[in-house]
Amino acid sequence: MDDKTKKICDLLTLIVVCFTFVPLFLINVEHQLGIFIIFLLLFCSLLIRSFFVGERFLNQYNWEKPLLFLEFFLVTVIVLLDRSTLSQILYYILIADAVLFYNLRFSLPYTALIIVSFSLSFYIRGYYEDWSQLLLGGLVNSLSFIFVFLLFYMLRHQIEQRNLIVRTRDEIEHKNKQLQKAFNSLEEMAILRERNRIAREVHDTIGHTLTTVLMGLEACRRLLDADSEETGERLAMVQDQVRKGLQELQDSIRKINERGDIIDMESAVEELLNETRRQTGVDSHKEISTFSPLNSQVKKIMLRVLQEGITNAIKHGECTELEVRIDEDEDYIYLLLQDNGRGESEIEYGFGLNSMEERIGELGGELSVSSTKGEGFELLVKLPLEGNKNEKH
């Protein structure tokens, strides 16, 4: 249980104890002084255990459970002095405290001790004439204590589940941000790799040609006055070198255009899945069998949809395994993402999928999401190859 919830429960405990004290003090006129002193000790013990002494100090010296047994003893004395049954509320408070903040190995015996103590206190005060009445009365009274025990045990379970959901949501949000950063980093790495490749290609082809041209012009300058015929031949050679360099430059640009974009689709998908596995532990499998060149916009949209689908599968579907397939036929390219998450019978598109659906629609494509309860989600993107080619050329 988180500190904030514990502090709220401790504060409510003190308030209930104070409200219980007032009628008990007024009803038991002959024992008012004793009840006042015991209530004061009980209140101080609760206050010390809850607020004035740090949890680290209590755990270090193992004071928490001894204080709980001290409170049990004080409440038992109040029950013996009480002419009414109002003091039973104090036992309820102790049971709630034990159930909410301690494990079953402690809270169960502690509750059983309270039931026995309460029944014996009634016997001591003469409420029961013999042991048969004691057993019957104890059984009846124990039902209320068992009800309180179960009530607060379910409350504790709900609080723990809520805290678990909050922690899981925060972890998923953190991992989602890390995945977004990793995806952006992958794009930057792809750009850098392509820049280096282009730089090497320019250096190896055009750089060599321009160096040759420069040397030829230098020779022509020296021969300009000495031998006009040789100068003309040299200029013709330089002209040929310039034409060759221009042709190589055009070839390099054509090759870059044929690549469609600096992002290599298969490598980007592989790196995105590897980063997802590293950040979240979710396993993945991919199968890519497409050979048509894709333009920049199509690649980016497919990667963004894949990223959004993976995020939703982990965040909402709580999946442990992903499968990615990219395939094509004569007219369309397909992206299929499947997960083994919990699935939903009804699907609601969030902002991310709605925006992706609009962008895919602008390219003449379709986005569909299907799911069955307990069988995960299936996300399918369908984009026309013809539109991709037209845009490219």
DSSP 293: -
| 257 pLDDT above the threshold of 60 | no
Q: Are 224 and 231 in contact (CB under 8 A)?
A: yes
Compute the C-alpha angle 277/279/280, nearest 5°: 70
Range ranked top by mean pLDDT from 47-51, 141-145, 198-202: 141-145
Is pLDDT at 380 greater than 80 in this prediction? Answer: yes
Q: What average pLDDT does this structure show over 63-67?
A: 76
Kindly state the average pLDDT of the residues 179-193: 69
Question: Tell me, what's the pLDDT at 46?
Answer: 84
Pairing of strands 321-328, 283-289: parallel
Which residue has better confidence, 5 or 230? 5
DSSP-based three-state secondary structure for 331 = coil
Round the CA-based radius of gyration of the chain to a whole number and report it.
Answer: 39
pLDDT at 154: 92
User: Dihedral, CA atoms, 235, 238, 242, 245, nearest 10 degrees?
Assistant: 170
For the chain, helix (H) and strand (E) counts, in that order, are 13, 5
Read off the pTM: 0.49
209-217 mean pLDDT: 62
Joined tokens for residue 336: 């299929």
Give the per-residue pLDDT at 389. Answer: 45
Q: Which residues of 149-182 are buried (b: 16+ CB within 10 A; e: fewer)?
A: beebbeebeebeeeeeeeeeeeebeebbeebeeb
